[in-house]
Amino acid sequence: MLEIIEGNRVSELDKAFAKSEGMSSWDLMERAAISFFNWFKLHFTNFPNEIFIFCGPGNNGGDGLAVARLLEMDGFKVAVVTFEDVLNCSQDYQINFTKLPLGVKVLVYESLEFDLLKNCICIDAIFGVGVNRPLSGKYLKTINSLNKVNAKKIAIDLPSGIPADTILEGDAFQADFTCTFQFPKLGLLIPEHADFTGKIEVLDIGIPEPFLKSFSQKKYYVQKKDIPSFHRKFNNFSHKGDFGRILLIGGDQGKMGAILLCSRAALRTGSGLVHVFAPWDERLVIQVGAPEVMVVNDFSLSDLGIFDAIGIGPGWGLEVDPNYFEMILQSFNSPVVIDADGLNILSKNPNLLKAIPPNSILTPHIKEFERLAGSFKDQIERLEKAREFSINHKVFLVLKGAFTCITCPDGSQYFNSSGNKYMATAGSGDVLTGMITSFLGQGYDSLSAAICGVFQHGLAGELASVKKRRGMVASDILETIPQTYLNLDIE
Ligand SMILES: NC(=O)C1=CN([C@@H]2O[C@H](COP(=O)(O)OP(=O)(O)OC[C@H]3O[C@@H](n4cnc5c(N)ncnc54)[C@H](O)[C@@H]3O)[C@@H](O)[C@H]2O)[C@H](O)CC1
Ligand SMILES: [K+]
């Protein structure tokens, strides 16, 4: 898993790594430029028009100049746009400036005609992690003009103006793609910056994981290649008991769909036995919608131990007696999953928080989390509050949204990389609850259940939306869960 390191420690990291490898900072910049060049060639082979690279005065600008050289030598038409006198720029910028081939046009920002950029590619190498104040003057003017131009726009490392670890003030470059080096900066993963980042590509520049660990702030980026290691292996002798017996509690008049989706998702994730406790008068909804599910009329709290995991909340309604909820929580000794109305009841009755079994998983979206823990000025503050909440209450929080963040009782945070905008559809969260409960029931620890559930939920959404786009519904997501096992090559 990739460590997400603070922006203001990147130059320290670069220096330490370059030193340990006996290479110069320029060599590392060259590696970064080569990784960008390789990515660019994959996406824009034979691009016929001009490529304009906007180079700021620091090492982000240095990357831009190195990329200009590599592209021109490969036959692309390249121009660089500069902002400062070379002598006022970083050392590696200066080296790369002297290495520019004659074929690269050098333009000064003042003389640039923005009309020329139409149908071209604009590469933003103005500022990266070194941005330390809102854009102003010539930089702001240039970015404002670039944002209006009809061209493909690619940011190197960060869209200029976006701070690595805090919230943008003012304006920033609006990219179609952001190619970020080694690990995604936190600033790329927060909703306030969604209009600027475009598609995020993480480009490896060869800094090994153990080296990154010494800069750890216990924030991680979870990618597809990480997922198999969180999965349990089953063999030919495994029986349905091994795949878990789970209980899902929820559903109410008019909200039975939520618990139905949840139970179908659990089955598709691989649960051996799924029981649903829902209003008895509404049982037909479940029995017709999911014949594999057993509907429970009642259960005695002393028998809850027969279940490997419990998921509580989808469609439950707010009329539930909080004392009854508390008794369920107190009678079960393993982690549970709490979602939707389960979370809303907790928000109204915060004294119940202490009854939640340790290492349980709470899956709030932003609004549910605010009801639970108060309101926040931005995502950075929300992430910090989520960390404190997890530590204080010894629970895992799955903060749902783009780059869903899993926050753990030890304070670490895992950002998910799968999923897309089409997943913002009714019932999507109920599917996730079913998946995570299913993994808990299959014997996964809470972190593995949350990571596999969140990643495969996102992956199912990606795969299902290929044919459905905006027309994708939660049932499509759950029906695609089996395909995620194939896609990840998990038996
Ligand atoms: N491992 C890696 O990630 C590598 C990263 N590389 C690239 O280097 C940049 C970071 O370079 P740095 O010189 O530290 O910072 P910047 O280029 O982003 O900018 C610094 C420069 O800009 C001035 N400045 C900051 N904010 C403003 C502003 N609003 N207006 C005007 N001027 C501003 C500041 O004073 C400095 O002079 C990283 O992002 C990568 O792209 C390396 O290539 C190696 C590997
Ligand atoms: K940039």
What was the ipTM of the complex prediction?
A: 0.97
Looking at the structure, do residues 469 and 322 belong to the same domain, yes or no?
A: yes
Higher pLDDT, 134 or 239: 134
pLDDT tens sequence across 136-179 = 999 999 999 999 999 999 999 999 999 999 999 999 999 999 99
Higher pLDDT, 247 or 210: 247
Looking at the structure, do residues 35 and 172 belong to the same domain, yes or no?
A: yes
Q: What is the pLDDT of residue 301?
A: 87
Q: What is the pLDDT of residue 172?
A: 98
Q: What is the pLDDT of residue 210?
A: 84
Looking at the structure, do residues 172 and 212 belong to the same domain, yes or no?
A: yes
Instruction: Give CA separation, 355 vs 322, 352, 359, 449, in Å.
Output: 11, 5, 12, 21
- Burial bucket for residue 241 (CB in 10 Å: 0-12, 13-18, 19+): exposed
Indicate if the pLDDT at residue 233 is higher than 90: no
| CATH code (residue 47) | 3.40.50.10260
Distance of CA 253 to the CA centre of its chain: 34
Q: Please provide the average confidence, as pLDDT, over all residues in the chain.
A: 96
Q: What is the pLDDT of residue 33?
A: 98
Residue with tokens 């932003």: 366
User: In angstroms, what is the span from residue 156 Cα to ligand 1's centroid?
Assistant: 11
Ligand nearest to the CA of 83: 1
Indicate if the pLDDT at residue 51 is higher than 80: yes
Q: What is the pLDDT of residue 211?
A: 87
Whether 160 has a binding-site annotation, put simply, is yes
Name all residues whose Cβ lies below 6 A of ligand 1: 10-11, 14, 28-29, 32, 56-61, 63, 90, 127-133, 135, 139, 156-157, 181-182, 205
Q: What is the pLDDT of residue 153?
A: 98
Rg of the chain, C-alpha, whole Å:
25
Whether 146 is covered by a domain: the verdict is yes
Indicate if the pLDDT at residue 450 is higher than 80: yes
Band (pLDDT 50/70/90 cuts) for residue 407 is very high
Whether 279 is covered by a domain: the verdict is yes
Q: What is the pLDDT of residue 377?
A: 94
Q: What is the pLDDT of residue 37?
A: 98
Looking at the structure, do residues 322 and 402 belong to the same domain, yes or no?
A: yes
Neighbours of 468 (CB within 10 A): 16
Q: What is the pLDDT of residue 369?
A: 97
Whether 372 is covered by a domain: the verdict is yes
Q: Return the ligand 1 atom nearest residue 129 CA.
A: 39
Among candidate residues 160, 184, 217, the one where a domain is terminated? 217
Looking at the structure, do residues 302 and 448 belong to the same domain, yes or no?
A: yes
Q: Probe ligand 1: pick from 83, 160, 181, 212, max atoms within 8 Å of CB?
A: 181
Whether 172 is covered by a domain: the verdict is yes
Q: What is the pLDDT of residue 29?
A: 96
Q: Return the ligand 1 atom nearest residue 25 CA.
A: 44
Ligand nearest to the CA of 67: 1
Looking at the structure, do residues 314 and 167 belong to the same domain, yes or no?
A: no
User: In angstroms, what is the span from residue 155 Cα to ligand 2's centroid?
Assistant: 5
Looking at the structure, do residues 210 and 250 belong to the same domain, yes or no?
A: no
Band (pLDDT 50/70/90 cuts) for residue 365 is very high
Pick the residue whose CA is nearest to atom 25 on ligand 1.
131
Indicate if the pLDDT at residue 240 is higher than 90: no
Q: What is the pLDDT of residue 297?
A: 87
Looking at the structure, do residues 195 and 244 belong to the same domain, yes or no?
A: no
pLDDT tens sequence across 271-311 = 999 999 999 999 999 999 999 999 998 888 888 999 999 99
Sorted by sequence, the CB contacts under 8 Å of residue 109 that are 6+ apart come out as 54, 81, 82, 83, 138, 142
Percent share of the chain, pLDDT over 70: 100
Band (pLDDT 50/70/90 cuts) for residue 104 is very high
Ligand nearest to the CA of 62: 1
Among candidate residues 188, 217, 246, the one where a domain is terminated? 217
Whether 60 has a binding-site annotation, put simply, is yes
Confirm if 398 and 450 have CB atoms less than 8 A apart: yes
Whether 223 is covered by a domain: the verdict is no
What tokens does 94 get? 């200066």
Region 46-69 average pLDDT: 97
Q: Probe ligand 1: pick from 11, 17, 157, max atoms within 8 Å of CB?
A: 157
Rounded to an integer, what distance in angstroms lies between the CA atom of residue 477 and that of residue 461? Answer: 5
Confirm if 380 and 165 have CB atoms less than 8 A apart: yes
Higher pLDDT, 238 or 469: 469
Whether 33 is covered by a domain: the verdict is yes
Query: How many independent structural domains does the chain possess?
Result: 2
Pick the residue whose CA is nearest to atom 44 on ligand 1.
29
What tokens does 472 get? 């994708």
Which helix (H) or strand (E) covers residue 478, if one does?
A: helix 474-479
Q: What are phi and psi of 396, to 5 degrees?
A: -90, 135
Whether 400 has a binding-site annotation, put simply, is yes
Whether 195 is covered by a domain: the verdict is yes
Whether 222 is covered by a domain: the verdict is no
Higher pLDDT, 332 or 298: 332
Q: What is the pLDDT of residue 168?
A: 96
User: In angstroms, what is the span from residue 54 Cα to ligand 2's centroid?
Assistant: 9
Looking at the structure, do residues 160 and 281 belong to the same domain, yes or no?
A: no
Whether 351 has a binding-site annotation, put simply, is no
Looking at the structure, do residues 124 and 199 belong to the same domain, yes or no?
A: yes
Indicate if the pLDDT at residue 238 is higher than 80: no
Looking at the structure, do residues 304 and 360 belong to the same domain, yes or no?
A: yes
What tokens does 362 get? 């709470």
Among candidate residues 187, 217, 247, the one where a domain is terminated? 217
Domain range for 182: 2-217
Helices (H), 402-473: 428-441, 446-468
Looking at the structure, do residues 272 and 348 belong to the same domain, yes or no?
A: yes
Q: Return the ligand 1 atom nearest residue 127 CA.
A: 18
